[in-house]
């Protein structure tokens, strides 16, 4: 979907048809997007009823990452896998399934999906979401992960749905990033943002600061310098937001800029942070890059990283390009001593 060629208010199905008319190779990808969007509408109805529909936060089993599955995690996983079963999808890598799931052998596409992102927000009426990345399926009976080992650049499309005050689908088919909002009266998504363009610089960061004592020195230094604001080496005051829901934080960054960090830290099991490469970091990274923003693990471009496991984690930094590059400088050791140097960050020394 080329930027500028889409009309605000158009229905998702019309926009997908237009994309396929322009590039017939997108036919299957568009069918998968439509299937996920359909499942998202039904998930949004469940979430919209809140506690009227029962306790969506009720604990069930455990997923492979050791997280307790809540009732809504399980419902969302069922809804998306049912929808993908009826689409041209050979395999699914879901947060809520230990192994890659085989759906339609021989079908052309594979989907990595986080059916319900932001699980800690379930049951308290806060935003949650669904994240997905669509890739070509690679048939290799000896390697069940074959469809998912290519770097994120192999993704044909990526997106997420936010179930917030409005239900929104943020989508890229590799030509810009668009937002569609669910028109509840009609039961259809309509285009609201034909081309997102993330501001290059920003004054807002998002990180779970309760982990500060576990952070590595570059992250500590970056955040300390943000906190020092106009009195420190960054020379500007920052605001902070943390929603505990990656999709909601990502949507804010896409709409008004900023930087999000979930770094690795020294807690047991958190050396690579908390977020998963295949169904969280890689789709978000494609959406960011297609909107003019960046996504790294601190230093390396997320889209260049190859997965070696379904639920592999990766440190994640994304958002306004200047901020993402600034974080990389702290990792490179070029900035992170600066905040503590008597020559930096003091009015009248390195700055006028
Ligand atoms: O509770 P923490 O450590 O701040 O982690 C919050 C992060 O974890 C997540 O909830 C992980 O996703 P899931 O809920 O899909 O496991 C992100 O949405 C969010 O950004
Ligand atoms: Mg998640
Ligand atoms: Mg999840």
Q: What is the mean pLDDT of residues 214-242?
A: 97
- 9 assigned binding-site residue: no
End-to-end Cα distance, the chain: 47
pLDDT given at position 336:
56
Question: Is the pLDDT assigned to residue 350 strictly greater than 70?
Answer: no
| 65 — pLDDT class (breaks 50, 70, 90) | confident
- 95 assigned binding-site residue: yes
| 304 — pLDDT class (breaks 50, 70, 90) | very high
246 lines ligand 1 (CB under 6 A): yes
- Span of 88-102, 122-136, 154-168, 321-335 with lowest mean pLDDT: 321-335
Question: Is the pLDDT assigned to residue 339 strictly greater than 60?
Answer: no
pLDDT given at position 335:
61
**DSSP letter string over 239-290?**
EE---S-HHHHHHHHHHH--EEEE--BSSTT-TT-S-BIIIIIHHHHHHHHH
Q: What is the mean pLDDT of residues 61-77?
A: 89
- 38 assigned binding-site residue: no
| 83 — pLDDT class (breaks 50, 70, 90) | very high
Mutation test of ligand 1: which of 119, 164, 279 has the most ligand atoms closer than 8 Å to its C-beta? 119
CA neighbor of 286 nearest in space, from 153, 109, 114:
153
Neighbours of 267 (CB within 10 A): 13
Q: Fold for domain 204-340?
A: D-Maltodextrin-Binding Protein; domain 2 (3.40.190)
Per-residue pLDDT reduced to its tens digit, 97-145? 999 999 999 999 999 999 999 999 999 999 999 999 999 999 998 999 9
131 CA: nearest ligand 1 atom = 15
214 lines ligand 1 (CB under 6 A): no
DSSP letter for 234, please. Answer: T
Strand partners, 238: none
Question: Is the pLDDT assigned to residue 175 strictly greater than 80?
Answer: yes
- Distance from Cα 118 to the centre of ligand 2, integer Å: 6
Percent of the chain residues topping a pLDDT of 90: 89
- Distance from Cα 282 to the centre of ligand 1, integer Å: 15
pLDDT given at position 2:
54
ipTM rounded to 2 decimals: 0.98
Greatest alpha-carbon pair distance for the chain in Å reads 67
224 lines ligand 1 (CB under 6 A): no
Per-residue pLDDT reduced to its tens digit, 40-63? 999 999 999 999 999 999 998 888
Mean pLDDT of the chain: 93
**Fold agreement (12-193, 204-340):** no
pLDDT given at position 64:
77
276 lines ligand 1 (CB under 6 A): no
**DSSP letter string over 36-105?**
HHHHHHHHHHHHHTGGGG--TT-EEEE-TTSPEEEHHHHHHHHHHHHHHHTTTEEEEEETTSSSPEE-ST
65 CA: nearest ligand 1 atom = 16
| 275 — pLDDT class (breaks 50, 70, 90) | very high
Domain spanning 12-193: CATH superfamily? Fructose-1,6-Bisphosphatase, subunit A, domain 1 (3.30.540.10)
210 CA: nearest ligand 1 atom = 4
- Residues whose CB is less than 8 angstroms from the CB of residue 26 and which lie 6 or more positions away in sequence, other chains included: 19, 20, 156, 173
The domain spans of the chain are 12-193, 204-340
pLDDT given at position 5:
74
Strands 128-136 and 68-70: unpaired
- 117 assigned binding-site residue: yes
- 116 assigned binding-site residue: yes
- 110 three-class SS: strand
229 lines ligand 1 (CB under 6 A): no
128 CA: nearest ligand 1 atom = 18
| 1 — pLDDT class (breaks 50, 70, 90) | low
| 213 — pLDDT class (breaks 50, 70, 90) | very high
Question: Is the pLDDT assigned to residue 200 strictly greater than 50?
Answer: yes
- 150 assigned binding-site residue: no
- The CA distance from 170 to 286, in Å, is 11
- Distance from Cα 310 to the centre of ligand 1, integer Å: 17
243 CA: nearest ligand 1 atom = 20
Q: What is the mean pLDDT of residues 294-317?
A: 98
Surface-to-core class of residue 30, CB atoms within 10 Å of its CB (0-12 exposed, 13-18 middle, 19+ buried): buried
| H or E element, residue 211 | none
208 CA: nearest ligand 1 atom = 4
241 lines ligand 1 (CB under 6 A): no
pLDDT given at position 197:
98
CA neighbor of 327 nearest in space, from 306, 346, 301:
301
312 lines ligand 1 (CB under 6 A): no
- Distance from Cα 244 to the centre of ligand 1, integer Å: 6
Percent of the chain residues topping a pLDDT of 70: 93
CA distances in angstroms from 317 to 207, 261, 299, 338, listed in the order given: 10, 4, 9, 21
- The CA distance from 344 to 83, in Å, is 56
- The residue contributing the CA closest to ligand 1 atom 15 is 117
Going 26 to 32 to 35 to 41, the CA torsion angle's sign is: negative
| H or E element, residue 305 | none
CA neighbor of 317 nearest in space, from 337, 290, 288, 292:
288
């Amino acid at each position: 979907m080329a930027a500028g060629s889409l009309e605000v208010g158009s229905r998702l199905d019309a926009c997908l048809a237009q994309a396929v008319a322009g590039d017939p190779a997108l036919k299957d990808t568009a069918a998968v997007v439509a299937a996920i969007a359909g499942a998202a509408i039904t998930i949004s109805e469940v979430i919209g009823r809140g506690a009227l529909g029962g306790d969506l936060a009720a604990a069930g089993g455990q997923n492979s990452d050791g997280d307790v599955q809540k009732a809504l995690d399980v419902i969302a996983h069922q809804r998306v896998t049912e929808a993908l079963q009826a689409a041209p999808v050979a395999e699914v890598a879901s947060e809520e399934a230990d192994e890659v799931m085989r759906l339609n052998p021989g079908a052309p596409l594979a989907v990595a999906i986080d059916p319900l992102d932001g699980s800690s927000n379930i049951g308290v009426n806060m935003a949650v979401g669904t994240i997905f990345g669509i890739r070509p399926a690679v048939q290799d009976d000896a390697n069940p992960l074959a469809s998912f080992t290519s770097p994120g650049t192999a993704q044909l499309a990526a997106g997420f749905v936010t179930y917030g005050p409005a239900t929104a689908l943020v989508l890229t088919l590799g030509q810009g990033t668009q937002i569609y909002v669910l028109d509840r009266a009609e039961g259809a998504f309509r285009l609201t943002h034909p081309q997102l363009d993330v501001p290059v610089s920003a004054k807002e960061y998002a990180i779970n600061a309760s982990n500060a004592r576990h952070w590595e020195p570059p992250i500590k230094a970056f955040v300390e310098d943000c906190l020092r604001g106009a009195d420190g080496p960054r020379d500007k005051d920052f605001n902070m937001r943390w929603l505990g829901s990656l999709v909601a934080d990502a949507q804010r960054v896409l709409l008004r800029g900023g930087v999000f960090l979930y770094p690795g830290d020294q807690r047991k099991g958190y050396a690579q942070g908390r977020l998963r490469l295949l169904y969280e970091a890689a789709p978000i990274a494609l959406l960011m890059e297609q909107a003019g923003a960046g996504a790294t693990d601190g230093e390396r471009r997320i889209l260049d990283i190859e997965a070696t496991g379904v639920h592999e984690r990766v440190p994640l930094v994304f958002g306004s390009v200047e901020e993402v590059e600034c974080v990389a400088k702290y990792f490179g050791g070029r900035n992170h001593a600066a905040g503590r140097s008597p020559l930096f960050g003091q009015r009248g020394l390195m700055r006028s």
